[in-house]
């Protein structure tokens, strides 16, 4: 036996097979999951891909997914009990969306979230949302057009709306856990609603209509205190939250014209700098927001070529944005008393010794916190047409 063959035989002793290998045809791929509390049990839902319908050759034109459900005293138990109905083991490794029921979120979602973290098959990079005025089963039952797999639609829509509108926030399980265990920042999760008729929405007819009878829409931001849902922010408040937390990628904002009518600013860049201080023994936070944008539309009489007009629009934007952010912070301080902005973290970074003195009473400190805000807009472009053609039509 030559040396090469001998070396191969020796190395083969250290090679092992995949002890837990499972063939694809033995698994049911789950892309979306939901859970809620029904009396004293958890009800778990799994949106699973139908292999024959996503195949180009074997498709019969039916829906691309099916929904399994089971109840149990724990999420893990309910998940395993789905095998009573599913002919394959449900595999969560490709999970994209987790939908948490509103009532469970109010009661406290820490326990089921903790159980999910212990599942070695789950990757914690999926998005988490909370239902608003509906249940996870209704959300996960809706058939969708454009994206034939509802979980894909939910995932892509949330990612796109955060990027283009800033009225939503894509939160992964990793990010959620970080906020839940943070001493100076509370968690937020985007809300999801069902618009329309849920009965037709769960049928094939829904995707055959030009205007679907039911659709899944993201709206509002769920505010948490610990692991419990404390309330909801409006869309305007959610956008203000995005500005403060430096989450705005691009968006548009309607502002008042100097006299009457509206103009729209298309934001192309936004940067927020939040710094914590201890001044005269009390915590304070300074927020400096710098925005760059273009004039998207002008629906009023104004001459953009006139000296000072752009400066006037910038000042109006800054004033209205400042008012919106102050209103949002006031809502969080007075109504919910929960710091979702991470102001506590800012104080901790700048003054760790002082933070250790006030952290146990941060909810009360936050409610009385002085927040100094500065907004600065720079308009870069007025578009290809300087003045609105509507002026000439009205004249």
Mean pLDDT of 280-304: 93
Residue 279 has pLDDT above 70, yes or no: yes
Domain extents for the chain? 21-233, 234-395
Number of helices and strands (H, E) in the chain? 16, 13
Whole-Å CA distances, 271 to 249, 288, 325 = 9, 8, 15
Mean pLDDT of 259-282: 95
304 pLDDT tier (thresholds 50, 70, 90): confident
Mean pLDDT of 225-232: 98
CA distance 147 to 132: 22
CA distance 72 to 59: 34
* 234-395 homologous superfamily: Nutrient germinant receptor protein C, domain 3 (3.30.300.210)
| Top-confidence residue, 8 or 141 | 141
pLDDT at position 55 is 66
- The answer to whether 325 touches 274, Cβ cutoff 8 Å, is no
On average, the pLDDT of the chain sits at: 90
Phi-psi region of 246 (alpha: psi -120 to 50; beta: other; left: phi over 0): left
Mean pLDDT of 59-68: 82
Q: Which of 88-102, 116-130, 154-168, 206-220 shows the lowest per-residue confidence on average (mean pLDDT)? A: 116-130
CA distance 86 to 67: 10
pLDDT at position 394 is 58
Residue 392 has pLDDT above 80, yes or no: no
Q: Chain centroid to CA 107: how far? A: 21
pLDDT at position 308 is 92
Residue 223 has pLDDT above 60, yes or no: yes
Q: How many CB atoms lie within 10 A of CB 1?
A: 6
Closest of 102, 119, 162, 130 to residue 30, by C-alpha: 119
pLDDT at position 121 is 81
- The answer to whether 354 touches 280, Cβ cutoff 8 Å, is no
pLDDT at position 4 is 60
Of the chain, the percentage scoring pLDDT greater than 90 comes to: 75
Residue 16 has pLDDT above 70, yes or no: no
Residue 211 has pLDDT above 80, yes or no: yes
Strand partners, 378: 292
Of the chain, the percentage scoring pLDDT greater than 70 comes to: 89
pTM: 0.90
Mean pLDDT of 151-170: 95
- The answer to whether 32 touches 150, Cβ cutoff 8 Å, is yes
pLDDT at position 13 is 45
Could you read off the pLDDT of 345-359 as tens digits, one per residue?
A: 999 999 999 999 999
Whole-Å CA distances, 82 to 2, 90, 111 = 55, 8, 20
As a whole number of Å, the CA-based R_g of the chain is 26
> What H or E segment, with its residue span, contains residue 352?
helix 352-358
Residue 114 has pLDDT above 50, yes or no: yes
19 pLDDT tier (thresholds 50, 70, 90): very low
pLDDT at position 301 is 83
Could you read off the pLDDT of 358-380 as tens digits, one per residue?
A: 999 999 999 999 999 999 999 99
Exposed (0-12), middle (13-18) or buried (19+): which is 267, by Cβ within 10 Å?
Answer: buried
CA distance 263 to 297: 5
Mean pLDDT of 136-151: 94
Q: Within 13 A of 386's CA, how many CA atoms are on the CB side?
A: 7
CA distance 180 to 323: 29
Mean pLDDT of 3-26: 53
CA distance 125 to 154: 15
Residue 106 has pLDDT above 50, yes or no: yes
pLDDT at position 21 is 53
Closest of 48, 140, 54 to residue 92, by C-alpha: 48
Could you read off the pLDDT of 42-60 as tens digits, one per residue?
A: 999 999 999 877 766 656 6
Q: Which two tokens stand for residue 263?
A: 């103009």
């Amino acid at each position: 036996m030559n040396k090469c063959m001998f070396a191969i035989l020796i190395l083969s002793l250290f090679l092992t097979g995949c002890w837990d290998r499972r063939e694809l045809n033995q698994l049911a791929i789950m892309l979306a999951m939901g859970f809620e509390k029904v009396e004293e049990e958890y009800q778990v839902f799994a949106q699973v891909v139908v292999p024959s319908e996503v195949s180009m050759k074997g498709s019969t034109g039916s829906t691309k997914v099916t929904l399994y459900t089971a109840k149990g005293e724990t999420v893990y138990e309910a998940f395993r009990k789905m095998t009573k109905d599913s002919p394959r083991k449900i595999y969560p490794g490709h999970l994209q969306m987790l939908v948490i029921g509103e009532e469970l979120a109010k009661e406290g979602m820490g326990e089921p979230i903790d159980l999910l973290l212990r599942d070695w098959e789950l990757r914690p990079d999926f998005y988490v949302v909370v239902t608003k005025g509906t249940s996870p089963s209704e959300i996960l039952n809706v058939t969708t057009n454009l994206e034939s797999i509802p979980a894909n639609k939910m995932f892509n829509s949330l990612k796109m709306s955060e990027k283009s509108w800033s009225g939503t926030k894509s939160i992964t399980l990793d990010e959620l856990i970080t906020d839940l265990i943070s001493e100076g920042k509370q968690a937020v999760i985007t809300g999801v609603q069902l618009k329309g008729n849920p009965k037709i929405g769960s049928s094939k007819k829904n995707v055959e209509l030009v205007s679907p009878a039911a659709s899944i829409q993201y709206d509002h931001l769920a505010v948490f205190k610990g692991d419990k849902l404390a309330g909801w922010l409006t869309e305007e408040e959610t956008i203000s939250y995005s500005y403060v937390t430096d989450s705005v990628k691009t968006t548009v904002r309607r502002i008042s014209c100097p006299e009457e009518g509206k103009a729209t600013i298309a934001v192309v860049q936004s940067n927020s700098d939040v710094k914590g201080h201890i001044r005269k023994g009390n915590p304070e936070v300074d927020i400096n927001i710098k925005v760059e944008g273009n004039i998207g539309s002008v629906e009023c009489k104004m001459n953009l070529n006139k000296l000072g007009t752009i400066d006037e629009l910038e000042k109006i934007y800054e004033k209205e944005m400042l008012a919106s952010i102050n209103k949002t912070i006031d809502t969080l301080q007075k109504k919910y008393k929960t710091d979702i902005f991470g102001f506590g973290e800012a104080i901790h970074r700048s003054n760790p010794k002082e933070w250790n003195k006030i952290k146990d009473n941060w909810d009360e400190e936050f409610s009385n916190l002085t927040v100094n805000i500065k907004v600065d807009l720079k308009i870069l472009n007025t578009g290809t047409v300087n003045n609105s053609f509507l002026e000439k039509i009205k004249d």
